[in-house]
Amino acid sequence: MLPEIEPPTLQTVGINTFTCPVRIPEKGGGVQHTVATIDLLAQMPQARLESCVSLMTDLLARFLPDIHAGIFPDLLRQMQEQLQAVSARLSMRFPYFIAKKAPVSGTASLMEYQCTFTATSSTVDEPLLTVVVPVTTLCPCSKEISAAGAHNQRAEITLTVQPLALIWLEDLIALCEACGSSEVYALLKRPDEKYVTERAYARPMFVEDVARKVAQQAMTHPDIAWFSVGVESFESIHNHSAYAFVDSRDIDRPAG
């Protein structure tokens, strides 16, 4: 038998990895159809756990035909009320595509970025935004010590921000893409390949340089309350990754 002790006061309960089609509004005015993985969680007093997962699925079912960020406040409020939850949280991860022109030839292609919206019932804020943005990093040390060439590789910037007002995914992604040695593209022609090669060689950066540069941009953004940025570089000369991370709460903000 279990000892007769106090149960936990609060417990989080919910659904993970629920997959469904979603619509994401685009900065350009359109709507993008993509596919999301949803986690839906409620923080509950122990006494009220009974059947809350089934209530959640009922709620999801009602919103299912048309899931998008616009329903978050309503869904979370209903969830909190019906479950008598302390708080409710929804996160939604999805691939998002942005039309991008190659830097010289102008060839259009679509780049994919993994994005996440995380909304909670306890605030009236915009949802947290996370974007994962591939860039090229070219190693400053390798360039400096080598007679020719420099090792470079794909790296991933993961930027999470708490917006004070609507921030478009497009703008957050562009902020990150400007901060690597070079941008990454879905399709490049030869003059484009020459351009990105030379650009990366001219802008060598360690992961910590990329993280700092993203942090500097995010600090000056008027609509970002706080942020964190991680940069992982899949080293071309090693079997492991280099990693750097900055959290805005560890930064002394310049007097503004």
Using CB under 8 A as the binding rule, the residues of this chain from 80 to 139 that contact a second copy are: 95, 97, 107-112, 134, 136, 138-139
- Residue 12 CB neighbours (<10 A): 12
Of the candidate residues 51, 84, 122, 123, the single one contacting a second copy (CB under 8 A): 51
CB of 118 to a second copy, least distance (A): 15
Going by their DSSP bridges, the two strands 182-183 and 152-163 should be labelled as unpaired
Distance CA(247)–CA(215), nearest Å, equals 8
Of the candidate residues 41, 83, 159, 161, the single one contacting a second copy (CB under 8 A): 41
Tell me whether residue 32 or residue 168 sits nearer to a second copy (CB atom). 32
Going by the DSSP 8-state scheme, the letter that residue 64 receives in this structure is: G
**222 counts as binding a second copy under rule CB under 8 A:** no
Distance CA(230)–CA(158), nearest Å, equals 5
Tell me whether residue 43 or residue 126 sits nearer to a second copy (CB atom). 43
Distance CA(139)–CA(146), nearest Å, equals 11
Residue type, 32: Q
CB of 114 to a second copy, least distance (A): 10
Residue type, 210: V
Please provide residue 22's backbone torsions phi and psi, each rounded to the nearest 5 degrees: -140, 165
Segment 54 to 73, residues that bind a second copy, using CB under 8 A: 54, 57-58, 60-61, 64
Binding flags for a second copy, 143-162, as an x/- string (CB under 8 A): x-xxxxxxxxxx--------
Segment 164 to 203, residues that bind a second copy, using CB under 8 A: 182, 184-190, 193-194, 196-198, 200-201
Tell me whether residue 166 or residue 202 sits nearer to a second copy (CB atom). 202
Please, what is the Cα angle at 138 between 133 and 139, to 5 degrees? 125
CB 132 within 8 A of CB 158: yes
**77 counts as binding a second copy under rule CB under 8 A:** no
Of the candidate residues 33, 47, 106, 124, the single one contacting a second copy (CB under 8 A): 33
Q: In what helix (H) or strand (E) does residue 37 lie, and over which residues does it extend? A: strand 31-45
**30 counts as binding a second copy under rule CB under 8 A:** no
**26 counts as binding a second copy under rule CB under 8 A:** no
